[in-house]
Structure 1
Amino acid sequence: MTKLPFKVVAVDMDGTFMHDDQTFDHKRFDRILTELHKKGIHFIVSSGRPYTRLRKDFAGFLNRIDMIADNGSLLLQDNQIISTHLLTYKTTLDLISFIKEHYSKSSIIVTGINNSYTTINASPSFKQTMNFYYPDRIEVTDLAAAINPQDMITKITLSYQYDFSAELEKEFNQTHAEKIHCTSSGFGLLDIVPYSVNKGIALKYFLRYFGAKPNELIAFGDGMNDAEMLKLAGYSYAMANAEDQVKKIAKYEAPSNNDDGVLEVLDSYLAKVEK
């Protein structure tokens, strides 16, 4: 192999790039990222995580990677937000009311660029999880009363016992002019974003910017919120620990997240390139 068959790398975080203990091999990643950059390859973190969490995860690498946060609602380059896709204030209020009426057992976090909110009565396990992703979240008694248009809402996340994302999306969109998109991010969490938002759409933006084609993209994922990204990529990898549906979408399989599957695959490609 004289050169790498891809120009852009896109990786999901939870269950894909990160170990279950929320760590990754910084030294190995630094080496691989350096080798990729020498060959003109762009590296994109494509995650449902908020950008504030991603900035902490990749401290020390921020000027060497690009980021897709909140499942495509925010795009960042050189550690700066370059594109936003937001839920309108009215639709955010409508969604909160709709969720309370139809999915009252779900705990909720409303994510904004400026503030994120959960309710005081959210389940303890949900709060514990959100403490990691949103350490600066605000606990309130009434979500609808707490948020304001200046919060610039990127997504709403719910807890679930079963994946009702398709059901919620269909029911809400039937009765509301502004459409939304729902997707399971795995781990008992469901994300609601603007209708046209997903990781695949976000990656198309970056591909155009980099002058690359979808068949020059290698992508890694494990959950259904990675589906559009994997369908787009010429080289799509589902992790060994991925959901069965995801494995059916991807062309190839990578070792599990806990076995550094992403880094293993990238290293294998780099080893085949002529020095």
Structure 2
Amino acid sequence: MTVKMIAVDMDGTFLNSQQEYDREKFSQLYQRMKQQEVRFVIASGNQYYQLKSFFPEVEDELSFVAENGAYVISEGEELFTGEIDPELVHDVLTILAAFTEGHTILCGKNSAYVAENEPESFIEHGRKYYHRLKKVPNLFEVKEDTLFKFALSFPVEQVSEVLEQLHDTLGEKVIPISSGHGDVDLIIPGIHKAHGLMKLQEVWGIKNHEVAAFGDSGNDLEMLKHAGFSYAMSNGQPKVKAVAKEIILSNDENGVLTKIEELLGN
């Protein structure tokens, strides 16, 4: 069985706890991927502009399934952009206002947006994941963009309860998923990382059984179920380990690059 596409989540998977990775080792493996015509895809809940900053030398050669699949860019070209109906955005913001402990970033194609009355600590935290983050008087006023995701933050101990409440309140309008720590994303139904991978597979003629995927959180489940080769990090959530074919070394032990080296044939 040959792998023709390798898809990696970033936080908690490809990146270590310091938000870094072994750049020298990756560079060597990336050259081997190119020689073997294996596509390398970054599949993350984070913003495209943030994700590409990790790969300055080769960003224009790579493909990104950003924003949990809502924005797919391949070699600098836009392949897919999801959109949440503006009326629905308004309805969801109204519902979220009732969650007093939560904080919200509204994610769009051109930028992400945060209300200027949010705590500065939350805004600074947001900037790590959203390199384009605009402060606005309130999120209801954001109109001039294609909006495709809500990124929410709650105290970690509340996340499972909040996920249930959001499921009950929102129905199938947008789907709440855990993306690690206290973060919860609201995504367009059916638009997830696996959907983004399928868009790329169509372009490249790659079958599901030729895909290897790596993840650690709830937003990786569809992608891991979809891929012929699926790997959960040892630091991953239990439900992620349950669907993966194999559990590998943690994100702080170079788990992804070690496994990629194996897949490429030491």
Deviation at 1:124, TM superposition (A): 4.1
Displacement after TM superposition at 1:210 (Å): 1.6
Amino acid in the other structure paired with 1:221? G
d(CA) in 2 for partners of 1:194, 1:125: 28
Normalising by structure 1, what TM-score? 0.90
2:27 aligns with: 30
Shift of 1:246: 0.8
RMSD: 1.6
Equivalent in the alignment of 1:51: 48
Aligned match of 1:168: 166
Q: Secondary structure of 1:34's match?
A: helix
1:83 aligns with 2:114: no
Matched, 1:184 2:178: yes
Matched, 1:131 2:142: no
2:90 and 2:6 map into 1 onto residues whose CA distance is: 36
Contact 1:47 1:70 in 2 (8 A): yes
Moved over 3 A (4+): none
Q: How far does residue 166 in structure 1 lie from its aligned partner after superposition?
A: 4.4
Q: Deviation per CA, 1:181-200: give whole Å up to 9, x if none.
A: 22111121111121121111
Range 232-241 or range 165-174, more displaced: 165-174
The 3-state SS of whatever aligns with 1:196 is: coil
Unaligned runs of 5+ in 1: none
Where do 5+ consecutive residues of structure 2 fail to align?
none
TM-score normalised according to structure 2 size:
0.93
Q: Distance in 1 between matches of 2:230 and 2:22?
A: 22
Q: CA deviation at 1:48?
A: 0.4
Matched pairs, number: 262
Q: Is this contact kept in 1: 2:61–2:76, CA < 8 A?
A: no
**CA deviation map 1:140-196 (0-9, x unaligned):** 332112x00x2111211111232223431342127xxxx212211112111112112
- 1:195-206 → structure 2 map (5 Å cutoff): 195-206=189-200
SS at match of 2:53: helix
Q: Secondary structure at the match of 1:151?
A: coil
Q: Is the 8 A contact 1:166 1:183 kept in 2?
A: no
Task: Name the aligned partner's letter for residue 118 of structure 2.
Answer: A
Distance in 1 separating the partners of 2:33 and 2:109: 31
How far apart are the structure 2 equivalents of 1:92 and 1:59? 33
- For the 8 Å contact 2:44–2:65, the answer to whether it is kept is yes
> Of 109, 113, 121, which aligns to 1:113?
109
What's the offset of the Cα at 1:44? 0.6
* CA distance in 1: counterparts of 2:71 and 2:116, whole angstroms: 27
Distance 2:165 2:204 in 1: 36
CA drift at 1:50: 0.5
Matched residues in 1 for 2:132 and 2:86: separation?
21
1:88-133 deviation per Cα after TM superposition (whole angstroms, max 9, x unaligned): 21111111111002x1220111111123211233234422211212
Quick check: 1:217 aligned with 2:214? no
**Mapped partners of 1:218, 1:15: distance in 2:** 17
